[in-house]
Amino acid sequence: MKLFVLLLFVVYELYLCESEEISAGTVFVLKGEDVLLNVTKAVVLEDLFSFSWKYNENKNVLQVNSSNNPHVFPDYAGRIEFSVNNFSVELKNLQESDSGVYTARVITLLGGETEAAKYNVKVEDRASLPLLTLSFVSDNSSSCSFTVTCSSQDSHINSTFSCETRTCSQEGVERSEGIPDTFLQVHQSRGSIICNHSNHVSWTNTTKIIKDVCHQYDVPHQLNPVHIILGVFLTIIILAIIGVGYFGVFEKEEQAKE
């Protein structure tokens, strides 16, 4: 029996050695929000000597020793919640400075050390409202073309549109070098040019009405379902009134004959 247990231990330790390093999953969080970091590998309580969550490998967030209560280090007091059931940690009200790698580490009674979770947390602020400006317009009776510049603080893209009565085609798109993790997009929809600024946690847009740029451009008609229903309803009522009127006359004629 003892041998069996020992064997199990060895197998377990081997398994730990084999997967000592786990790759960090990236988690994007909106500034001011909370994130729950789970332990992804089973922690065997009987083997546990100590357990810790660390920030960027060296800063202590929390530590649990086998016999003691969880200890939250001063920088994180009141900012985290720890679950004694599953060892997950919830980081609250995250700020950009909290971005970094969070690692859960287990030290076993035998002295083996292993990672039980690893997350690369990236805190991002809401994307700012982009600026949409016209940089070139050519508008005459037969065709219209224009170039817009859609910009944020750190990057911009230029896009050229060519329009005829009701359709515009998007021709060239040129983008400047931007910072990673934020994106600018220009497209057209329902008679508007839309400039969309997004990152991993939010997006926002600025729009420009095409008709204000190309004066001969007609906004495509869209059938409104309310109008269709109203139309059908009115038709039925009108038909009903005509019907009643017709039968009314018919009945009067019948009465007159009698």
Ligand X SMILES: *[C@@H]1O[C@H](CO)[C@@H](O)[C@H](O)[C@H]1NC(C)=O
Strands 113-124 and 25-30, bridge-based pairing: parallel
Kindly tell me which residue out of 68, 97, 222, 224 binds ligand X, with binding defined by CB under 6 A. Answer: 68
Q: How far is CA 111 from CA 34, 57, 114, 229, in A?
A: 33, 19, 10, 75
Residue number, 11 or 134, with CB nearest to ligand X: 134
Minimum distance of ligand X from residue 161's CB (angstroms): 11
Residue number, 86 or 235, with CB nearest to ligand X: 86
- Asked if 153 touches ligand X (CB under 6 A), the answer is no
Q: Provide the sign of the torsion angle of the four alpha carbons 153, 154, 160, 161, taken in this order.
A: negative
Between 83 and 112, how does the x/- string for binding to ligand X read (CB under 6 A)?
Answer: x-xx-x------------------------
Residue nearest to ligand X (CB): 71
Between 167 and 206, how does the x/- string for binding to ligand X read (CB under 6 A)?
Answer: -------xxx-----------------x-x-x----xxx-
Contact residues for ligand X (CB under 6 A)? 27, 36-38, 50, 63, 65, 68, 71, 83, 85-86, 88, 135, 138, 140-143, 145, 149, 158, 174-176, 194, 196, 198, 203-205
